[in-house]
Amino acid sequence: MARLDTPLAVTLATVGGLTGGLAGLVPGLHPNTLAAGALAVEARWGLPALPTIAFLMAALGAWTFTSALPLVVLGVPEGELAPALHPGQRLARGGHAEEALTASATGSLAGLALGVPAALAIAHLLTTPGARSAVQAATPWVAGIALLVLVASDPAGPPTAALVALAAGLLGHVGLAVPVTSPLGWPATPLLPLFIGLFGLPALVHAARSPPPDHEPLPGEDGHVPTPARRGPIVGSLLGLVSGVFSGFTAGPATAVAAQIGHQRETSLMATVGAVNTASVCVATGVLHALQRTRTGVHAARLALAWPIPGWDALVGDLAAMATGGLVGLAGLGLACRHAEALAAHVPGLARGLVVPWLVGIGLFTGWAGGLVCLAGWTLARAAHAAGARRSLLMATLLGPALVRGLTG
């Protein structure tokens, strides 16, 4: 049975935490990219399954801690969480970047502390008779509620937001059905170019063009001192549990719901985002083991590297690796906070250097068909930005198909 009890697995979990933490510091980079690379290497040369899984799970855990930094120090929108993290930009421009990152780390730590035991409990619950069918029956309703919240709360207004959501849903329906193939024979999925087009490349391009934000108080905010995050970590962790179970209720909609639960201060909302993100991937790991249902590229790679998943020890090992990576990411974020301005000065150049390799990688992993999917995603992301819509609305690319599949059976 697979457990995190070999020196190589422990070492690679630590290395994975460092790698995932560094990936979080680069706009547009995600552990899903690392997972795609690992599958390509495994297909070509072979890899020992357990250490590779430990590496990827730790990278995913660490990324949830450090991915807030590019937005705070650069104002770079990071994936589906960009609109919810906007308070981080405000805090950074007011000279409170450290408080923003501290709140985010506090939320992520709470999400890890609650998400790991919740993942074990939920995985056990989902193995009981009728649990799978109950989740499947509830998923379209949860996806529909999440979609309604995103559309109703979007600053572009419901009509424009509805059009963007419809376009994203159609793109998801068509794009995820495209038969992508790697010219090198590597494992391929249309989800990779779709999400790179919708979220990864726009973040890289934005980072390449944007200097660090000036640390000057916003008008009317002179002397403003952020208050510590209080209920944000708890609210975010609970919403993260829901997000991890229901495939349509992703971290972006979960955070949008959190923003509607009373008035939350900027630091509290930052903590909510961190908690949602970390708790969600923990619980999704439990769901992966119980239902063999993937939520991220890392989970898909985990399933491909070791099928079937053997026993509860494997879940404990995955969660242990994720917790190890999370703690490494927390330490890395603390170090990065001390050098935030220096990092901000180098990130634009790094982003410029990554645009072309990413485009080449899409071609190598998914061929010309994947390139077209990526281009369609990028075009929609630009159109949504021009319309003034939040980028979290683009998560309708998954919400829409989930809703349709649930309603049509």
Give the pLDDT confidence of 268-313 residue by residue, as tens digits.
888 888 999 999 999 999 999 998 888 888 988 888 887 666 678 8
Of 51-60, 94-103, 364-373, give the lowest mean pLDDT range: 94-103
Residue pLDDT, tens place only, 132-175 = 888 888 888 888 888 888 898 888 899 999 999 999 999 999 99
- Here the tokens at position 98 are 């450290």
Q: How many CA atoms lie within 13 A of 18 on its CB side?
A: 5
- For the segment 211-230, the average pLDDT, to the nearest whole number, is 50
CA atoms of 123 and 221, how far apart (whole Å): 46
- Per the structure block, which two tokens stand in for 297? 């590229």
Structure tokens at 116: 């790991």
Calpha distance 83→197 (Å, rounded)? 17
DSSP designation for 84 = T
Specify the pLDDT at position 373. 95
Closest CA to 81 of 194, 227, 236: 236
Mean pLDDT (the chain) is 81
- Cβ atoms of 276 and 239 within 8 Å: the answer is yes
Show the tokens assigned to 393.
């609305």
